[in-house]
Amino acid sequence: MTKGIKKDDQVMVIAGKDKGHVGRVINVQPDKGRLMVDGAARAKRHERVGGKRAKGSGQQIQQGGIVDIELFIDVSNVQLVCPSCGKPTRIGHEGEGKERSRICRKCGASV
């Protein structure tokens, strides 16, 4: 369950080491209740040189080194930022059936 947060929404991290960070949702795992926010929850990963060498050139296909990767965070640690009022807010729903839309709980505008 993702609390109505979708891919490409602007969210604010409200808990954890990146508290206060505002970023765009890159990826969502609704079955696990986790999502990935651009620029938040980064970790360093040590990559080894891999791939096959091209014949004669001696170049590697993949470069090794330390790279930053983004991790999934729990959906309960983020809040949607309303595009009209610019504040982090909870999401409400308005309408019935297929015509259901998300609304901001603070200003009432459609999200």
Q: Which two tokens stand for residue 48?
A: 């080894």
Give SS3 for 99: helix
> Which pLDDT score, from 0 to 100, does residue 98 have?
86
Per-residue pLDDT reduced to its tens digit, 15-34: 999 999 999 999 999 999 99
Sign of the alpha-carbon dihedral angle for 34, 38, 41, 43: positive
Q: Give the pLDDT band (50/70/90) at residue 55.
A: low
pLDDT of residue 2: 73
The arithmetic mean of pLDDT across residues 53-79, rounded, is 83
32-48: per-residue pLDDT in tens?
999 999 999 999 999 98
